[in-house]
Amino acid sequence: MSKTRILLQTTIPYTEDDWHIGRFSLLQGHLESLTDENNESLYEVSARNRKTDDAGNDFVLSNLHNSDFDELWLFALDTGGGLSKSDCQGITKFRQRGGGILTTRDHHDMGTSLCSLGGVGKAHYFNSKQQDPREERNQRDDVNTTYIDYPNYHSGANGDFQKIEVTEPVHDLLKRFDGSKIEYFPAHPHEGGIGVPEGDDSAKVIAKSKSLITNNDFNLLIAFEKSEDKHGNKCGRAIAESSFHHLVDYNWDIEMGCPTFLEEPPGDEYKTHPERLEDIKTYVANLAKWLNG
């Protein structure tokens, strides 16, 4: 059986003191460790930062539809300009040929390049553009980090976990191997906003969480099932996720470090309850399988 090929990609070029793709090494290692019943590796994983040609197009994303990748896990870490028009076309055509896509971002305007991406990109809400259609949500949730505006849902400290609410019926992505529901995700002081795009029947909320400051709930995961677009393309599955911090090294092991601009003190719940980290690893395994159909 051939391996599923996964691309882990950021929308920013390499900068040492930033969330470059090297800070997702635990995720990559976990994916590469997954095996089938014959102990054969299931996934071949490539990881890269944004790198562009003279026209500003990413060398890989702009031609993704012609690649042999099966899945794109896109970490939108820019505040604009992270995807060119050609990049968006390559990603869109990739999904139209059945490719699976994870899109994730963070607070405020981090990841606004997703606004230029149709379909799953419409599930992401920001401060300066594509705001949450629920006007009451366009206000600060995390009031402690004053330089970060909405959306900034406070699910807890980095290094701690959040108890998630799995919507019914329980999606396959959120089932443990024994059939019980996943309960814990890594926490983050200011997660982004996501929602089901108006008129998209293929999308639904599959998990929520709750702010520790306001007690407001917020969407954690939006799942897009396979669907046929108006041109007859059979589009692959996709996920919109509220924060890349669910998957970055620092939130799985704070000893891995973080960029110097991160000011909030971390928690230690994943040190005191390391078994709870298995839930996010199970979700990752489920996601890699599900996105490939």
What pLDDT, in 10s, does the model give residues 241-291? 999 999 999 999 999 999 999 989 999 999 999 999 999 999 999 999 999
Q: What percent of the chain has pLDDT over 70?
A: 100
Average pLDDT, the chain: 97
What secondary structure does DSSP assign to 70-111, as a single string? SEEEEE---SS-SS-HHHHHHHHHHHHTT-EEEEE--STTTT
Q: What percent of the chain has pLDDT over 90?
A: 96
- pLDDT category, 1, cuts 50, 70, 90? low
- pLDDT category, 135, cuts 50, 70, 90? very high
- pLDDT category, 153, cuts 50, 70, 90? very high
Residue with tokens 């990841």: 111
Domain ranges of the chain: 4-291
- pLDDT category, 124, cuts 50, 70, 90? very high
Predicted local distance difference test score (pLDDT) of residue 230: 86
List, in order, residues 6 or more apart from 101 with CB less than 8 Å away.
Answer: 71, 72, 73, 74, 91, 94, 95, 120, 236, 237, 238, 239, 291
The residue among 185, 189, 169 whose CA lies nearest residue 287 is: 185
Condensed to tens digits (0 to 9), the pLDDT of residues 172-184 reads 999 999 999 999 9
Condensed to tens digits (0 to 9), the pLDDT of residues 39-51 reads 999 999 999 999 9
Helix axes 25-33, 277-291, angle to 10 degrees: 70
Architecture category of domain 4-291 in CATH: 3-Layer(aba) Sandwich (3.40)
